[in-house]
Structure 1
Amino acid sequence: MNDLKIEATQSTPLIETDAGRGIIYMEGDSYPENSFEYYSDLVAWVDQYLKEQTRPLSLELTLLYLNTSSIKVMMDIFDELEEAHHAGREVTVNWHYDLDNERVAELAEEFKEDCSFAFNIIGQE
């Protein structure tokens, strides 16, 4: 399984995957022109990982801002994680945020409300 390394830009986050360790790392802002196109490789990677691997999957997020279409893509990914969790897979989200950025904490809380898997919101100074 091929891992992804998509470099960050001003409007898109860094995305790195590590199938061997079962980790997806994302950091930065997310307001690409076409979120569904930008995230298509990541969505395909998550789908393939969940089908082919039995190891846990952890998302390590340090997302600062998401536009509406990026939020929709993240909801789709979290829905897939929720399905995997109900099927017995161990999945975790660790969403790191700056304590001064309450908006991100509120967004993470909204996502967490819809998830029954481990979803940790971690404030940092």
Structure 2
Amino acid sequence: MQPFVSAPTRSTPDVHFDPASHRHRMKGECYPENAAAFFGPIFTWLKAYIASKPTAPATFDMELVYFNSSSSKALLDFFEMLENAAAAGLRVTVNWRYDKDNDIACECGEEFAEDAKALAFKLVAL
């Protein structure tokens, strides 16, 4: 399986998902004009990654400085996919990384974490 790499733009984050190391990251701002078009390939890759039944724990480092409401919905879907995979036995950790002075980013992470029962969702203040 190939890594998923998407270079950052003015309105989309740097995305680098590496199936060999099981370390995955999304970092930057996320307010694409068309969230479905941006997240579609990410979801396709994630489904294939989960279907490959990785045996090593997977870590997702999420450091989104800003994201709009359509990206928030897509992130909910993203975390739901991870939650389902974790419930099925994949060991998943999400590190929600945020600036310690950004209360909104912290609150968003707390809200995402509320729905995470099977995966390890950690809030990491920077």
Question: In 1, distance between residues paired with 2:32 and 2:47?
Answer: 22
Superimposed CA distance per residue, residues 2-50 of structure 1 (whole angstroms, 9 cap, x where no aligned partner): 1121111111100001100112211111000011111111111110000
Structure 1 residue identity aligned to 2:14: L
State the Cα distance separating 1:56 from its structure 2 match.
2.1
Structure 2 residue identity aligned to 1:57: A
Question: In 1, distance between residues paired with 2:100 and 2:64?
Answer: 13
Question: In 1, distance between residues paired with 2:45 and 2:22?
Answer: 11
- The number of residues matched between the two structures is 124
CA RMSD of aligned residues (A): 0.9
Superimposed CA distance per residue, residues 55-102 of structure 1 (whole angstroms, 9 cap, x where no aligned partner): 322110110111111011111111111111111110110011111111
The two structures have a TM-score, normalised by structure 1, of: 0.95
Question: In 2, distance between residues paired with 1:23 and 1:43?
Answer: 16
Q: Percent identity?
A: 36
Note the residue ranges of structure 1 that are not aligned, 5 or more in a row: none
Question: In 2, distance between residues paired with 1:37 and 1:56?
Answer: 28
Structure 1 residue identity aligned to 2:62: L
Structure 2 residue identity aligned to 1:5: V
Which position in structure 2 is the counterpart of 1:94?
Answer: 95
Which position in structure 2 is the counterpart of 1:23?
Answer: 23
Which position in structure 2 is the counterpart of 1:120?
Answer: 122
The two structures have a TM-score, normalised by structure 2, of: 0.94
